Amino acid sequence: MGLHDPLDSTLDAARRGDERAAEQLYRAYQPMLLRYLRSQERRAAEDIAAEVWLAAAGALPDFDGDERGFRSWLFTVAKRRVIEHRRRGLRRRTDPVAPDTFTETTLDEDSAVRATDLVAAQRAVDLMAEHLSPDQAEVLILRVVADLSAAQVGELMQRPEAWVRITQHRALKRLTARTGADLGAVP
Amino acid sequence: MTDPKDTPSMDPSDGAAVPSVVDLDATDRLLDAIARGGVRATDPGIELLSLAAGPVDDAEVVGAADFVAAVAGASPHRHLVPALGPQRTTTNVFRVVVAKSALLASLLAVGVAGAGAVTGVIAYTAHQNPAPDRLLRPEVTTTKIGQQAPEGDERDAGEARSAATSTAPTTAPTTAHDGAALPRSATERPTTEPLPATGPTNTGPTNTEPVGGADPQDDTTDRDLAGPGAAAMPTSSRVPAIDDEAAGTTPAAHTPPSPRPRPAAPVARARDTGIPWGVCAAGCSAQRATDPPTPAAASTSSRSSATSAPRTDASAPQPRGPRCGRDCSAAERPL
């Protein structure tokens, strides 16, 4: 998915409060954001995405940069929200949970899986996360789905650019070697 | 050579060799091409990546309205900013300042006008309707001879004077403030002095007529003394100082007439009109019917009203004053 210069003007209009431009930004970035978040936290992807867009709406009027900078900033916020969500999950381990909660959680997870099965792109992302290490899957998803450069991915993940380049090279080799048989299942 | 810290952890399936820079650059370019959708899948890995970067499904873009509302709430009036340039903003601020200044000035003008109107009404009301307690103040029982009091005060003083003369002589209230005698000018005569029971009280309506036969030719002096206040003023309190000075008398001559019938000095200066000065119609010396005319007063008919005194024409027949009301016995008629 190519997101380039046309979105620069859309971003400027959204900064001034143009509602149509804001909707165009949402339609352009929400799918890739959901695919990335579902690869990281499947059950909480929708909630984290809502938090990311809420933060974006508050910071959009003061944002200074082009479309690529906004995209990198958006996924950086998403990454931090994922980390915060995982920390909250660790704290919630000590909370007593009613038995009914497990049943509801299972049902919700099944529903989410059924919904994502309908999307070929999300199914491909899930296969990537299934066959790759977490770092490799995240690097490839950010490089291909979010269309971020190696340098931007390294900045987002707080890793050197060279680490990103080596990781993506090894991830592509592994993915090609392991997923040959599974690609036939992707609609 | 790649820095070891930049090398990701090795998986046995990734092989032991560190990829060359050429391979890293080729992989980097391939991924950029996949992200932009410009690569045709040649292996399962590339095909999977192409699917992951596939087109947007409608199910993934739900919830756009919430973000749009959030953006609109974050900048509710931002779309109006282009319509308000810096110049127009400055103009609007200037207009607001001018409008507020005009409003403040109009409010101040209305306030000043209102205060002036209220002050005028109060002054007019006080002038037309004097307070009742003013009639009972001891100050109104005094007057300054030779000074023209305001009309209202003159009427008040006349009324109070009439009230004072219709009753018994009052005590001296002007000296009752702190027990000590108040300084009194030579031209001020208290009417609370023991007045002889004669004069306007006994004559009644005749008080409105000039007393002492004022010269109708003398406009200023006679008009002043012929006014209501002067008519009601007892003749004993109408002794001008100017005449005293001209006559060579001392202020002691203005002291209330002694009941003793031997005023040596006034009698000695009696004119040749045949009627001695200080003699009432009955002939006793307790009441001065008229003031003794002085040569200066007789020759000058246009003296200032503030310093002039009632005078009588020396050539005109000297009228006698009203009766003093006392029993002018023979013992009191030395003249």
**Predicted confidence (pLDDT) per residue in B37-73, tens digit:** 877 777 788 888 888 888 777 777 777 888 888 877 7
Q: Test B54 with A16 for CB contact under 8 angstroms.
A: no
Q: Test B31 with A168 for CB contact under 8 angstroms.
A: yes
Give the pLDDT confidence of B87-105 residue by residue, as tens digits: 556 677 888 899 999 999 9
Question: Which of B3, B34, B46, B68 to mutate: most A Cβ within 10 Å?
Answer: B68
Of the candidate ranges A121-130, A151-160, B92-101, B206-215, the one whose mean pLDDT is the lowest: B206-215
Beta-carbon contacts of A161 under 8 Å, excluding residues fewer than 6 positions away, are A150, A151, A154
Q: Test B78 with A17 for CB contact under 8 angstroms.
A: yes
Residue B284 has pLDDT above 70, yes or no: no
- Please compute the mean of the pLDDT values over residues A75-103 and round it to a whole number: 77
More confident site: B46 or A111: B46
Q: Distance from A102 to chain B by nearest Cα, in Å?
A: 27
Which of these, B268, B279, B267, lies nearest to B321 by C-alpha position? B279
Q: Which residues of B touch A57 (CB under 8 A)?
A: 67, 70-71, 73-74
Distance separating alpha carbons of residues B189 and B145, to the nearest angstrom: 7
Q: What is the band of A169 on the pLDDT scale with cuts at 50, 70, 90? A: very high
Of the candidate ranges B104-118, B216-230, B309-323, the one whose mean pLDDT is the lowest: B216-230
Q: Which residues of A touch B46 (CB under 8 A)?
A: 172, 176
Q: Distance from A26 to chain B by nearest Cα, in Å?
A: 6
Structure token digits, residue B203: 């004559």
Q: Which of B71-80, B119-128, B161-170, B228-237 shows the highest mean pLDDT?
A: B119-128
Q: B251 in helix, strand or coil?
A: helix
- Please compute the mean of the pLDDT values over residues A134-156 and round it to a whole number: 94
Q: Which residues of B touch A2 (CB under 8 A)?
A: 35-37
Q: DSSP secondary-structure letter at B178?
A: S
Instruction: State how far the alpha carbon of A61 is from the alpha carbons of A16, A55, A94, B79, B195, in Å.
Output: 7, 11, 40, 11, 99
Interface of B with A in 30-59 (CB under 8 A): 30-32, 34-37, 43-49, 51-57, 59
Distance separating alpha carbons of residues B284 and B332, to the nearest angstrom: 6
CA-based angle B241:B199:B239, to the nearest 5? 0
- Kind plus residue range of the DSSP H or E element containing A104: helix A99-117
Identify which of B13, B54, B68 has the shortest CB distance to residue A120: B54
Instruction: State how far the alpha carbon of B40 is from the alpha carbons of A127, B37, B272, in Å.
Output: 19, 8, 155
- Please compute the mean of the pLDDT values over residues A121-147 and round it to a whole number: 91
Q: Which amino acid, one-letter code, is at B199? A: G
The whole-number pLDDT of residue A162 equals 93
Residue B184 has pLDDT above 70, yes or no: no
Q: Test B68 with A19 for CB contact under 8 angstroms.
A: yes
Beta-carbon contacts of B307 under 8 Å, excluding residues fewer than 6 positions away, are B146, B240, B241, B242
Q: What percent of chain B has pLDDT over 70?
A: 28
Beta pairing class for B188-190 and B142-144: antiparallel
The whole-number pLDDT of residue B13 equals 59
- Please compute the mean of the pLDDT values over residues B277-291 and round it to a whole number: 54
The whole-number pLDDT of residue B50 equals 87
Distance separating alpha carbons of residues B162 and B141, to the nearest angstrom: 10
Question: If you average pLDDT over every residue of chain B, what do you get?
Answer: 59
- Please compute the mean of the pLDDT values over residues B233-239 and round it to a whole number: 43
More confident site: B14 or A108: B14
Instruction: State how far the alpha carbon of B173 is from the alpha carbons of A102, B47, B165, B238, in Å.
Output: 107, 124, 15, 20
Interface of B with A in 237-276 (CB under 8 A): none
The whole-number pLDDT of residue A175 equals 87
Distance separating alpha carbons of residues A46 and A60, to the nearest angstrom: 20
Q: Which residues of B touch A135 (CB under 8 A)?
A: 8
Angle between the N-to-C axes of helices B44-52 and A120-131, in degrees from 0 to 180, rounded to the nearest 10: 130
Beta-carbon contacts of A119 under 8 Å, excluding residues fewer than 6 positions away, are B57, B59, B60
- Please compute the mean of the pLDDT values over residues B234-249 and round it to a whole number: 43
Residue A135 has pLDDT above 70, yes or no: yes
Identify which of A1, A14, A179 has the shortest CB distance to residue B53: A1
Beta-carbon contacts of B217 under 8 Å, excluding residues fewer than 6 positions away, are B301
More confident site: A11 or A111: A11
Q: What is the band of B134 on the pLDDT scale with cuts at 50, 70, 90? A: low
Q: Test A57 with B78 for CB contact under 8 angstroms.
A: no
Of the candidate ranges A56-70, B124-138, B168-182, B278-292, the one whose mean pLDDT is the lowest: B168-182
Q: Test B63 with A30 for CB contact under 8 angstroms.
A: yes
Q: Which residues of B touch A30 (CB under 8 A)?
A: 60-61, 63-64
Q: What is the band of B317 on the pLDDT scale with cuts at 50, 70, 90? A: low
Instruction: State how far the alpha carbon of B277 is from the alpha carbons of B212, B266, B272, in Å.
Output: 12, 7, 10
Distance separating alpha carbons of residues A173 and B30, to the nearest angstrom: 12
Q: What is the band of A71 on the pLDDT scale with cuts at 50, 70, 90? A: very high
- Kind plus residue range of the DSSP H or E element containing B165: helix B151-166
The whole-number pLDDT of residue B31 equals 92
Please check whether residue B164 is in contact with residue B197, taking contact to mean a CB–CB distance below 8 angstroms: no
The whole-number pLDDT of residue B109 equals 94
Say what the pTM is.
0.45
Q: Distance from B40 to chain A by nearest Cα, in Å?
A: 14
Q: What is the band of A33 on the pLDDT scale with cuts at 50, 70, 90? A: very high
